[in-house]
Homo-oligomer: A and B are copies of this chain.
C-alpha cells in the first residue's frame, strides 16, 4: 500500500498530538484537529490502514493510537519542520570567559537540560588527532619528574614519573630540548618506533628516561580515551510518566551516573562519518540497551580540525524532535564560533 498524501497528514497529526499530550490519540481528535474536514469514521479507516502498515499501534483494543518506532522514524525523516529555538542565554553564558574547557562543557550540558527538559550529555572533544605543542619535564622531587604536555587547543596533561636515577639540571634541560625538538608539532599517531629509537640514542645513558617519558605522554593522552563525559538533567526523565517508573528510571539514572555506557553512544555518533552532524536514535535503534524506551538525539561538534565531541539529548520517544534538532544545531554552531573567536 502506498502512503497517500492524506495518510501522511494524518500521521503527522497523530504524532504532533501525541508529542503534546502523551496520551493515545483517537480518531475523533484527529477529525477535529486537522484541516482535512473528514469525519472520525474516515479517519478510522485510514488509521486502520496505517496500523496495518506498521506506523502506529494500539496499546489495547479500545484505546487510541500511538506512533510506533517506525512512525517516529517517518516523522523525523520526512515530516519534521525545524523550529529554530532561540537560545538567548546561550551566548551570554558561553561568552563568560571560560577558559576551562570542562567548565564550559558542564555549563552547556546544564543549559541544554534546563532548556529542553530532557536529560543531556556532552563528551569532551577527543584530542588524539591533535598535535603536541609543548612538552616539559621538571624535577618536582628527588625521585619524581613532572611531565607536562600541552596539545593544540591548549589541552594540558600532567603526569608524575617516578625515576630511579638522579638527574642534574643540565641533563634535564637537554632532555627537554631533545623531546621538544623531536616531537613538537607531531600528532600522537606520527610518533613511530624509529623516532623513539633515534631519541633514545641521542639521550645516551638516559635512554631509559626517554622511554618512560614517551610512555607517559602516550598514557597521559590516552588516559582520556576513556573519555570525559558530562551529564545534566537526569532527573528530567521523571517529567515523563512513561519513563518514570522505578525500573526504567533506575536504569537510566544508573547509565547516566556510570557514564561508561554513554561512551558507546559517543563512539557510535562519531563513527558515522557521512552524517550532517545530527543523528536520531528512536527506541531500539539506540546503541545503549538501557535506553530502548527513550529516544536519543546526538550531534557532533567540531572545534577546529580533528577535535570532535558529541552532544546528546535523551528523552522519551515522544520527544519534541523539531525543537531538539534546532537547539542542537544552534549549540554546535555556537561552539564552533566560540572556538574560532578564541584562536
Contact = CB atoms under 8 A, between A and B. Distances in A.
A235 interface: yes
Nearest to A148: B148
Interface in A123-153: 133-134, 136, 138, 140-141, 144, 146, 148, 150
Contacts of A100: 223
A140 B146 contact: no
A257 B234 contact: yes
A246 interface: yes
A330 B253 CA distance: 29
Contacts of A138: 134, 136, 148
Contact of A234 (B144, B154, B253): B253
How many protomers of this protein does the assembly include?
Answer: 2
B238 A250 contact: yes
Nearest to A252: B235
A186 interface: no
A99 interface: yes
Contacts of A235: 250-251, 253-254, 257
A314 B235 CA distance: 18
Contacts of A256: 257
Contact of A146 (B134, B146, B250): B134
Contact of A158 (B156, B249, B253, B257): B156
A232 interface: yes
A244 interface: yes
A310 interface: no
Contact of A257 (B150, B232, B249): B232
Nearest to A154: B160
Interface in A184-206: none
Interface string A217-233: 00000010000000111
A267 B144 CA distance: 33
Question: 8 tightest CB-CB pairs across the interface, nearest first?
Answer: A238-B250, A235-B254, A156-B158, A235-B253, A235-B250, A134-B140, A238-B246, A136-B138
